[in-house]
């Protein structure tokens, strides 16, 4: 469905991405993992159109991303960013934040249908209709991220670019968000490019994982064997740096 071939990005003559090859098939969750500064978010920004690649090709459904089909393509690829509070307009109610993409993409639908769609989106992310008139400062960080996911779902995308969507959340909220993402993928038949620094999280959620180091993908590996059979030294270093929680009942 999505194919990234030889993606390059330079900033002021410095290569941030160098020859990235990546594919996301229909119904798949592909993880992109690496340390801070590895270039993970730059990959997402190039795919979403927020950054212009310096080289390479990005294809969607076999055709080059952009050009005459760009508007439809952009509707089908939506992004959820790392900081949910920075992603929401503090002066807008939840209703207005959700109505904006609905009003943009579905002008042919009656206003009442778009109002109903906004309420339905809230229910799909585990929030009730009473949140529609709230402002971001009245919500927890986890609730704000659920609103951002609902907003990303509004254009009825096929692929979500999830750029560190858990990093601003505490551990209980992260676990709840993972459950939500699994449920939404199943119900809405979505594909994800899930970007994270947390190698354990990607091993639990994803089907396959690409490991990024200094702007290059150094390993592609099945998520089920990521923690046990990875061959590249950088991947093994990421695993070694991952804190291991003690088992229940173990001595402190």
The DSSP line for 124-187 is HTT--GGGTT--GGGS-HHHHHHHHHHHHHTT--SEEEEESTTTTS-HHHHHHHHHHHHHHHHH
Residue 246 pLDDT exceeds 70: no
- Report how far residue 65's alpha carbon sits from residue 2's, in angstroms, rounded to the nearest whole number: 9
Predicted confidence at residue 251, as pLDDT, reads 43
pLDDT at 45 over 80: yes
Q: How does pLDDT run across 165-207, given as a tens digit for each residue?
A: 999 899 999 999 999 999 999 999 999 999 999 999 999 999 9
Tell which wins on pLDDT, 228 or 159.
159
Q: What is the pLDDT of residues 71-115, one digit of tens each?
A: 778 899 999 999 999 999 999 999 999 999 999 999 999 999 999
As a whole number, mean pLDDT of residues 29-57 equals 93
Question: Given pLDDT bands bounded at 50, 70 and 90, which one contains residue 64?
Answer: confident
Whether the pLDDT of residue 67 is over 90: the answer is no
**Cα(129)–Cα(186) distance, rounded to whole angstroms?**
23
Q: Residue 197, exposed/middle/buried by CB under 10 A (0-12, 13-18, 19+)?
A: middle
What pTM does this model have? 0.91
Hey, what domains does the chain have and what are their CATH numbers? Answer: 2-88+156-241 (3.40.50.300)
Distance of alpha carbon 238 from alpha carbon 216, whole angstroms: 15
Name the pLDDT band for 229 (thresholds 50, 70, 90): confident
Query: Where residue 249 falls among pLDDT bands split at 50, 70, 90?
Result: very low
């Amino acid at each position: 469905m999505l194919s990234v071939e030889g993606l390059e990005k330079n900033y002021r003559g410095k290569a941030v991405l160098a020859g990235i090859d990546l594919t996301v098939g229909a119904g798949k969750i592909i993880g992109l993992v690496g340390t801070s500064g590895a270039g993970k978010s730059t990959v997402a920004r190039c795919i979403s159109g927020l950054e212009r690649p310096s080289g390479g090709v990005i294809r969607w459904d076999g055709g080059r991303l952009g050009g005459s089909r760009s508007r439809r393509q952009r509707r089908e690829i939506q992004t959820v960013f790392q900081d949910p509070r920075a992603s929401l307009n503090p002066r807008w109610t939840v209703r207005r934040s959700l109505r904006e993409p609905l009003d943009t993409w579905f002008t042919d639908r009656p206003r009442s249908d778009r109002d109903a769609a906004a309420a339905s989106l809230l229910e799909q992310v585990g929030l009730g209709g009473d949140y529609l008139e709230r402002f971001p400062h009245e919500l927890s960080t986890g609730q704000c991220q659920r609103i951002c996911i609902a907003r990303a779902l509004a254009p009825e995308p096929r692929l979500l670019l999830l750029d560190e969507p858990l990093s601003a959340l505490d551990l209980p909220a992260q676990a709840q968000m993972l459950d939500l993402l699994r449920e939404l993928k199943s119900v809405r038949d979505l594909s994800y490019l899930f970007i994270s620094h947390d190698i354990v999280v990607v091993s639990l959620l994803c089907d396959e994982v690409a490991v990024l180091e200094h702007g290059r993908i150094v390993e592609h590996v099945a998520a089920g064997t990521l923690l046990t059979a990875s061959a590249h030294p950088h991947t093994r270093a990421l695993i070694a740096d991952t804190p291991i929680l003690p088992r229940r009942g173990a001595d402190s």
